[in-house]
Amino acid sequence: MKKCFIIILILIMTLPILSACWNQKELTDLAFVMALGIDRGEDDLYHLSFQLVNPGNVSAGQGGGGGQGLPIAVYKSTGRTITEASRNATKKISRRLYYAHTNLVVVSEEVASDRTLMLNLLDAFARDPEFRTTTEILIARDSTAEEIVTTLTILDKLPVTKVTKEIDSTEAMKGENISVSIDDLIDGIVSSGKEPILNGYRLIGQKEEANKATNLQKTTTDALLAADGLAVIKDGELAGWIERNKARGVIWVLDKAKSTDITLKWKGKKNAISMVPIRSKTKVSTIFKNGKPVINIKIENEGWISEANTAIELMDPKTIGKIEKLVEKEIKKEIQSSVKEAQKLKCDIFGFGDGVHKANPELWKKLKGNWNDYFADLEVNVKVDSYVRREGVRTNPFWSDINK
């Protein structure tokens, strides 16, 4: 009797393990939203563009198979809130919108410039249990968010893959952009010692051709997507843009610079030498002079000579020393210009306020309320140490032999 009771008890305990998933969803009933574009219409409604994947047209392997149609389908809807606009889309889509695989959110400059609109949409994303807040978010420059998410790309079948990979590659190789998630943006907005930044993205070329199938049937497209600048966010809305080398200066200070290219003049010849950093470390410290905070930025950089388009003796230690000084001067100039640009906007995107808070909590209590105004006149010192570790496969360039 006791043995039977134990067997029955074991069976009862294993029943929950054997039960099926209570909320399973069939793949054929789901519409996978890969990217989401958010614009603002003249009616003050949210205008959403849903980039949906066409699985049959994406899964085609090399050598045949799969569909011959476009890899994505884009549906649009409007609403007073993100939730309403998303629900209204169900009137046009036969499947349930599924956001667990959304990799990109694009907002227009008009939306980004409105604090209320930005905070409302961020709340919607952070509150939805299905939406991942690790999703990349960026701003469409001189384009609508709809234009960004509807553009077809050649190399990557899914446009969203092209954008996210491009941000990663330009962060790693150029140093003018940085991957920013919804979580990063929210953390920056609620923080009192650091303001967030976002990537800008632009549609270049003939916009009317960007979403046509013919755009995929050419070796060079009529329209393409490209990363373009860093957006400065202040108090939850777009405050301005930082471009090119100034954007790279921001990445230097944030200690996110992985690699880039630094072009130098040599003995009056422009673009004579190119150096590529291979390692870089930034240390930001806070000291106090007469009770006022002062920021010290120290950068240690190591790189190699990737081009030498002039007659130069790269085996001479004195020559290498001069190149190192030129690189230090160039990096310092970029950082100083980026700091001045942020100070003009009165927006501490570097997190200097966090440093002051950690170094002197009592002083921070006094400065916290108007820190960005104080930041505009903050003393910032920059010191760069750069070293050339190698000259590439070749030592002295062809120019040295030609001029003999």
306-351, pLDDT tens digit by residue? 989 888 888 889 999 999 999 999 999 999 999 999 999 999 999 9
187: left (phi over 0), alpha (psi -120 to 50) or beta: alpha
Residue 37 burial by CB count (10 A; 0-12/13-18/19+): exposed, middle or buried?
buried
For residue range 88-116, what is the model confidence (pLDDT) as tens digits? 998 998 888 999 999 999 999 999 999 99
What distance in Å separates the CA atoms of residue 261 and residue 247, rounded to the nearest whole number? 14
Based on the fold, state whether residues 215 and 362 are members of the same structural domain: no
Confidence category of residue 206, pLDDT binned at 50, 70, 90: confident
pTM equals: 0.87
Per the structure, the complete domain to which residue 108 belongs is given by: 29-58+68-242
Q: What pLDDT, on a 0 to 100 scale, did the predictor assign at position 63? A: 40
Q: How long, in residues, is the chain?
A: 404
269 is a domain residue: yes
What distance in Å separates the CA atoms of residue 153 and residue 92, rounded to the nearest whole number? 25
End position of a domain, from candidates 223, 242, 261: 242
Q: What pLDDT, on a 0 to 100 scale, did the predictor assign at position 207? A: 82
Structure tokens at 297: 């930025």
Q: What is the count of structural domains for the chain?
A: 2
Based on the fold, state whether residues 292 and 390 are members of the same structural domain: yes
Q: What pLDDT, on a 0 to 100 scale, did the predictor assign at position 17? A: 60
Based on the fold, state whether residues 92 and 237 are members of the same structural domain: yes
Based on the fold, state whether residues 49 and 103 are members of the same structural domain: yes
Q: What pLDDT, on a 0 to 100 scale, did the predictor assign at position 224? A: 87
Based on the fold, state whether residues 36 and 109 are members of the same structural domain: yes
Confidence category of residue 156, pLDDT binned at 50, 70, 90: confident
Sheet arrangement for strand 269-289: 262-266, 269-289, 292-308, 379-390
Q: What pLDDT, on a 0 to 100 scale, did the predictor assign at position 392? A: 79
Based on the fold, state whether residues 97 and 197 are members of the same structural domain: yes
* Residue 137 clears pLDDT 60, i.e. is over it: yes
CB 131 within 8 A of CB 98: no
Q: To the nearest whole percent, how much of the chain has pLDDT over 70? A: 90
Q: Tell me whether strands 30-40 and 104-108 are parallel, antiparallel or unpaired.
A: parallel
223 is a domain residue: yes
End position of a domain, from candidates 175, 208, 242: 242
Confidence category of residue 66, pLDDT binned at 50, 70, 90: very low
Mean pLDDT of the chain: 88
* Residue 29 clears pLDDT 80, i.e. is over it: no
CATH code for position 311: 3.30.300.210
13 is a domain residue: no
Packing angle, helices 115-127 and 182-190, rounded to 10: 120
* Residue 251 clears pLDDT 50, i.e. is over it: yes
- Of residues 217 and 110, more confidently modeled: 110
- Of residues 29 and 287, more confidently modeled: 287
Based on the fold, state whether residues 301 and 376 are members of the same structural domain: yes
- The arithmetic mean of pLDDT across residues 53-63, rounded, is 64
Provide the H-helix boundaries in 224-272.
244-253
| Cα dihedral: 157, 158, 163, 164 (round 10) | -110
Structure tokens at 335: 């950082």
For residue range 125-135, what is the model confidence (pLDDT) as tens digits? 999 998 999 99
End position of a domain, from candidates 218, 242, 266: 242
3 is a domain residue: no
- The arithmetic mean of pLDDT across residues 114-143, rounded, is 94
For residue range 363-386, what is the model confidence (pLDDT) as tens digits? 999 999 899 999 999 999 999 999
Based on the fold, state whether residues 52 and 72 are members of the same structural domain: yes
Based on the fold, state whether residues 277 and 176 are members of the same structural domain: no
CB 88 within 8 A of CB 68: no
Q: What pLDDT, on a 0 to 100 scale, did the predictor assign at position 65? A: 43
What distance in Å separates the CA atoms of residue 58 and residue 392, rounded to the nearest whole number? 41
Based on the fold, state whether residues 234 and 255 are members of the same structural domain: no
* Residue 64 clears pLDDT 50, i.e. is over it: no
* Residue 234 clears pLDDT 70, i.e. is over it: yes
